[in-house]
Copies of this chain bind each other. A is one copy, B any other.
């Protein structure tokens, strides 16, 4: 028998409580022990809620109740979530969390606290929403030397890019459509500028390579400068523009985590992940490549991962699993993205094809419908990013856009 406390009764919190009671019989059977939700922490009142008797505004009710051994933190943000989670772990209560900001910024510390107190800090919901990725990486792919992970980690931006490709919609209109459908927030910065994807690639990088990667250390570009024309060129090239968060091991033994829009070729399964769906590709020496696909956000998809973690935490009572990474004192193990070698897409006005070849060598020219006579677009050969910057300055003309081509080789 274990009692659960749910911290936060927003979208994911209410989804967690509803899903738990909807499938309770199955959940209890899987956990192998009786489970019930005893507390829901929220500063708001919910008069008339079917869960009315469970609400509290005081975290101490939960901290001081020894019956509560499992906690679901679904509040979001670092404060006060961090203090609450840490206090729970210090009392030996296992915590599961959907809070990517918390895990990305404080994961190493919370994992250490959990280990010290012989309980667990689990966060399947923080990275892939409904998509199982943390546990498969940690368990199912454990025999592999994983060399890279690359994912479409944000549903909002993928929805916007899909609209831009399929309906030739400009960015601003696609964003406003996403807002109308509830896929994007009023202030869409965290999604559109890649901060959300950045937190997720930090979590995946830390887990795969064993050292905490802080968001500040990761070069991050969003999709606000991508145009419908870029999307069209990518499609005619046989691929798609996607916002990709990725991490790879580099030849010098460092790792390179980065978030940026990228041309993804049609042969890569990520190119066909559309709308609000996410996809995460994992590369390893034995598996070659494996992809996980599904809804990366939303009330019940996220609740699915929270409840699965609660079941696991209940089953693992009294043992702390080895899913741990070290804290990092500095970022000396993070490679400089300017040293990476990759092809680039370039769209430029007032430059001849010959000039493009003179500067970049054997480029591949792309086409689009209704292309103005003075516009060209092309893919460069592989080139070191900092050399690319120099060559681009030599190209002249008016550069209308440049986008990296996804390249996970090092």
Copies in the complex: 2
Contact of A144 among B23, B136, B322 (CB under 8 A): B23
- Residues in chain B near residue A277, CB distance under 8 A: 269
Within 8 A of B (CB), among A185-208: none
Interface assignment of A291: CB less than 8 Å from any CB of chain B: yes
By a CB distance below 8 angstroms, the chain B residues around A145 are: 22-23, 26
**Chain B residues near A143 (CB-CB < 8 A):** 19-20, 23, 26-27, 303-304, 306-308, 311
A183 CB, nearest partner CB in chain B, Å: 14
Residues of B within 8 A of A294 (CB): 287-291
**Do A290 and B132 contact each other (CB < 8 Å), given the known contacts A32-B322, A285-B22, A322-B32?**
yes
Q: A139-B312, A304-B143, A308-B142 are in contact. Are A292 and B290 (CB under 8 A)?
A: yes
Asked if A115 is at the interface of the complex by the 8 Å CB criterion, the answer is: no
Least Cβ distance of A186 to chain B in Å?
A: 25
Instruction: Given the known inter-chain contacts A132-B136, A304-B284, A304-B287, please indicate yes or no for A142 contacting B269, CB distance below 8 A.
Output: no
Are the CB atoms of A290 and B130 closer together than 8 Å? Answer: yes
Task: Answer whether residue A260 sits at the interface, using C-beta atoms and an 8 A cutoff.
Answer: no
Chain A positions 313-327 with a Cβ under 8 Å from a chain B Cβ:
322
In the assembled complex, A305 has its CB within 8 A of some CB on chain B: yes
Q: Is A352 close to B, CB under 8 A?
A: no
Is A373 engaged at the interface, CB distance under 8 Å to the other chain? no
Q: Is the CB of A286 within 8 A of B312?
A: no
Asked if A295 is at the interface (CB within 8 A of a chain B CB), the reply is yes
From 360 to 395 in chain A, residues with beta carbon under 8 angstroms from any chain B beta carbon are none
Closest Cβ–Cβ distance, residue A36 to chain B (whole Å): 15
Nearest residue (CB) in B for A289 is: B294
Please measure, in the bound complex, the distance between the C-alpha atom of A306 and the C-alpha atom of B142, giving whole angstroms: 10
Q: Is A124's beta carbon under 8 Å from chain B?
A: yes
Tell me whether B301 and A295 are in contact (CB under 8 A): no
A237 at the interface (CB under 8 A from B): no
- Asked whether, in the complex, the Cβ of A139 is within 8 Å of the Cβ of B290, the reply is no
Chain B residues with Cβ below 8 Å from A304 are: 141, 143-144, 284, 286-287
The complex places the Cα of A132 from the Cα of B144 at a distance, in Å, of: 13
Q: Which residues of B contact A15 (CB under 8 A)?
A: 286
Please tell me if the beta carbons of B23 and A140 are within 8 angstroms of each other in the complex: no
Q: Write 24 A-B pairs (CB below 8 A) sorted by A numbering.
A: A15-B286, A22-B285, A23-B143, A23-B285, A32-B322, A124-B140, A130-B287, A130-B288, A130-B290, A132-B139, A132-B140, A135-B135, A135-B140, A136-B140, A139-B312, A142-B307, A142-B308, A142-B311, A269-B273, A286-B300, A287-B301, A289-B294, A290-B293, A291-B291
Closest 7 CB pairs of A and B: A132-B140, A143-B307, A290-B294, A286-B304, A291-B293, A130-B287, A286-B300
